[in-house]
Amino acid sequence: MDPINQSLRRFGDGRIQERLNKLMQEVTADSRVASFLQGHPEIGREAVESGLNDLYQYKEQWHNCDHCPGLAACPNVMQGYQPQLNEVRGRIHLSYQTCPLKRRDDERKKHESFMKSLYLPKDMLTVTFEDFESDTEKRTDAYVKALAFCTNTVPGETAMGLYIHGPFGVGKTFLVSAIANEFADQEVETMLVYTPDFLRELKSGIADGSYQEKLDNVKRARVLILDDIGAETMTPWVRDEVFGSLLQFRMMEKLPTVFTSNFSLDDLELHFASTQTRGAEKVDELKARRIMERIRHLTDEIPMSGRNRRTD
């Protein structure tokens, strides 16, 4: 009853009943409270008096909501919740439900729990297919195939992924970000990784002992998107120990992988074949072919072209 006592003190000295009556008049004059009571004529004066604290809390907290300072600064008893009045056996009962701001925040957090991004700009986390401009034949084809991939793919049952390639700035990362968000909406765990930075992180993990954990976290994603493959410096370790291990695991577990690259599949094979070790170049076409056989077997190739949207 503390809120009631605090309010009663505003009325000064006098009999408690008189002050109680004034407070009741103030509370029942509130439009929301009045509407509730009019809709429940079975609630008598005695029930109103015994439920006065609930009615007061209801009025005050809706006043907070009417002047909402934002979810983080919400002053209500339960942050992010709005009060609701109910009638139970002729008595007043106060309950709470989430407000629109909290519901949106909960949905955002839930969405983020299914979509993880490593080393990519934050603005890519909100991209959807509606944001993608399919203004050329190639971009329209890529859009249709990407959307079909999201619709038809069942991780653990269908391992087929996508290989999206084209020049700088045509929207490859934008498209795969839309793919990641679409899967997150379906509550499918998706990981979107900028490949060169991921490989640098793995290399640093060798020294601190976190290498295997970092690799496992990525290779076990239900849907994995490797953005800008081919932009990394190719070494035998990257090709055989990282990509070889990752692709083999995902093929066996039937987990789909999406790639973006500036290289066509044939150009990527040349990239895998030519490696750098201690400043010396070595060519191993056989090992490159083994890696590429897995990529070709497990992806649908999608070429993209068009204007460079980064410079426009």
Last residue of a domain, one of 98, 122, 137: 98
Please give the angle made by the CA atoms of 301, 303 and 306, to the nearest 5 degrees. 165
C-alpha to C-alpha distance for 249 and 255, rounded to whole angstroms? 8
**Which residue range forms the structural domain that includes residue 91?**
2-98
pTM over 0.85: no
Instruction: Look at the chain and report how many structural domains it folds into.
Output: 2
Q: Which residues contact 250 (CB under 8 A, 6 or more apart)?
A: 159, 219, 224, 256, 257, 298
Q: Let me know if residue 310 belongs to a domain.
A: no
Same-domain status, 209 and 126: yes
pLDDT value of residue 133:
84
**Residues 173-213 pLDDT 10s:** 999 999 999 998 888 989 999 999 999 989 988 888 889 98
pLDDT of residue 98: 93
pLDDT band at 112 (very low <50, low <70, confident <90, very high): low
List, in order, residues 6 or more apart from 5 with CB less than 8 Å away: none
For residues 256 and 115, state if they share a domain.
Answer: yes
The residue among 31, 63, 98 that closes a domain is: 98
Range with the largest mean pLDDT of 22-31, 94-103, 254-263: 254-263
Please say which residue of 39, 67, 98 terminates a domain: 98
Query: What digits encode the pLDDT tens for the residues 226-277?
Result: 999 999 989 999 999 999 999 999 999 999 999 999 999 999 999 999 887 7
Count of alpha carbons within 13 angstroms of residue 197, beta-carbon side: 9
Residue 165 sits in a domain of what CATH number? 3.40.50.300
DSSP state of 81: E
Binned at pLDDT 50, 70 and 90, residue 113 comes out as low
In sequence order, which ranges of the chain are alpha helices (DSSP H)?
2-8, 16-28, 31-38, 45-50, 52-66, 100-114, 137-152, 172-185, 195-208, 211-219, 236, 244-252, 265-273, 285-297
Is 34 inside a domain boundary? yes
User: Looking at per-residue confidence, does 303 or 24 come out higher?
Assistant: 303
Q: Give pLDDT, residue 169.
A: 84
Question: What's residue 310's pLDDT?
Answer: 66
Q: pLDDT per residue over 59-92, tens digit each?
A: 999 999 999 999 999 999 999 999 999 999 999 9
Q: What is the mean pLDDT of residues 122-149?
A: 87
